[in-house]
Amino acid sequence: MKKIFSLLLCLVLLLSLFTGCGQKTETSVTLEEAGLSFTIPDEWADGDNVNLFPTSYVTAEAPIYAKVLYQYIPDENMDELNDLDSDVPVEELMVPLFEFIVVKEENLESEEVAAEKALFHTCEELPSQEEYHFFLLWEPTDGLAQLSPDAGLVYTDMEDGIPAFKETVQTFVPTAAESSLPSQEEVAAADEGYFNFISTDLDGNAVTSTMFYDYDITMVNFWASYAYPDINELDQLEEFYTRLQTEHPNVNMIQVIIDTPDDAAEEIIAKAYEESGVTFTGISPDKNMASWILENLKGLPTTIFVDDTGFIIGDTIQKVQTADYYMTAVEDLLAEIGK
């Protein structure tokens, strides 16, 4: 089983959350906001017992302007990672493989930068661009204690390939370097309680959260291509959506595919939709939506409900459910709001 989580936040702005699982992952990566591009080795993307979890952050005013961290998760930890009821902290299920940090000239000697570098035994500086300095870090100082012997060998093989990987890295001035962005707190305060987005559906058509205005309630279901076919409620969702048309036309349903936009993921979802005769709308996350996903999703599938302003109402539903279960939830909410 393969899972590669792909995440880019600018401030808390994220391009895509999860990509891959049983599929070939895109190995050419460009992070415009971080000023980095690189090529993931094929053996990292497709090798046995190789699952990567990348997270990338850009915070313009912080001592570390950008961070791109790739962590390794062995196969034996994947079930635990996907278990909604697990008490094992996520950080105990993975080990850092490498990390990029981007630092402005005036922050090179900051305590935060020194502390980040201290997390790894090896730190090599990459070509700088104007006021931006780029570093590649690897060999975590905490070691590999949480890995089994077999997983440790896989990790060591990947780690041996980092010097060659470094040769693929290119640096450039981050595109968002001069942007005037609100603080994370300001963004959160403005959107608190609302599920807002400006994105596209899986056919590339523009969609926004104004679509909520046409319905008293919209059910938003979160899924991913890597969950197919093992975790799949499309037949039940399609039955539920079809029943809505006649029983509650004032209620809509959409599905967010969290590992899109991505060609491989979209191909898998297209196949899954065709098999189940899906007629509801599938949507790719935009940066704002993906930030919400990062903060709120604990597993897949997850379902929420919003009112005609996009305000989140009712209880969050987790795990696979039936059409009847969703219908009961909708009817209870309709009664609560007097519709």
pLDDT on residue 182: 40
The answer to the question of residue 192 being in a domain is yes
pLDDT at site 25: 39
Which has the closest alpha carbon to 8: 57, 52, 53? 57
**How far out from the chain centre does Cα 193 lie?**
20
Q: Which pLDDT score, from 0 to 100, does residue 267 have?
A: 93
Residues 103 and 67 in one domain: yes
Instruction: Judge whether 137 lies within some domain.
Output: yes
Q: Are strands 217-223 and 52-58 parallel, antiparallel or unpaired?
A: unpaired
Together in a domain, 97 and 238:
no
In a domain, 179, yes or no: no
CATH of the domain at 222: 3.40.30.10
Q: What is the pLDDT of residue 301?
A: 93
Q: Are residues 136 and 213 in the same domain?
A: no
Torsion region of 277: left, alpha or beta (phi above 0 gives left; psi -120 to 50 gives alpha): left
Q: How many domains does the chain have?
A: 2
What confidence score (pLDDT) does residue 192 get?
Answer: 63
pLDDT at 14 (0 to 100): 30
Residue 178 resides in a domain: no
Predicted confidence at residue 81, as pLDDT, reads: 61
Taken in order 101, 102, 104, 108, is the CA torsion positive or negative? positive
In terms of Cα–Cα distance, which of 223, 225, 237, 217 is closest to 297? 223
Is the pTM value of this prediction over 0.85? no
Q: For residue 332, what pLDDT is reported?
A: 96
CA distance 284 to 266: 10
Instruction: Answer whether residue 109 is part of any domain.
Output: yes
135 domain-assigned: yes
DSSP 2: -
The enclosing H or E element of 219 equals strand 217-223
In a domain, 65, yes or no: yes
Give yes or no: residues 274 and 196 share one domain: yes
- Same domain? For 144 and 208 the reply is no
Q: Are 154 and 293 within one domain?
A: no
Residues 140 and 203 occupy one common structural domain: no
Half-sphere exposure of 107 (CA within 13 A, CB side): 20
89 and 193 assigned to the same domain: no
What Rg, from alpha-carbon coordinates, does the chain have?
21
Q: In angstroms, rounded to a whole number, what is the distance separating the alpha carbons of residues 67 and 33? A: 11
Backbone angles phi, psi at 62, to 5 degrees: -85, 160
The reply to whether 164 and 230 lie within a common domain is no
Residues 19 and 166 in one domain: yes
Q: What does the block give as tokens for 120? A: 């790894």
Same domain (yes/no): 317, 236: yes
DSSP-assigned letters across all residues of 148-189: -HHHHHHHHHHHHTHHHHHTT-EE---TTTT-----HHHHHH
Query: Which domain covers residue 75, as residue numbers?
Result: 8-171
User: What is the number of other CB atoms lying within 10 angstroms of the CB of residue 136?
Assistant: 22
Residues of the chain with pLDDT under 70: 1-26, 78-86, 90, 176-192
- Out of 149, 171, 193, pick the residue that ends a domain: 171
- Pairing relationship of beta strands 120-129 and 95-104 according to DSSP bridges: unpaired
d(CA 219, CA 143): 44
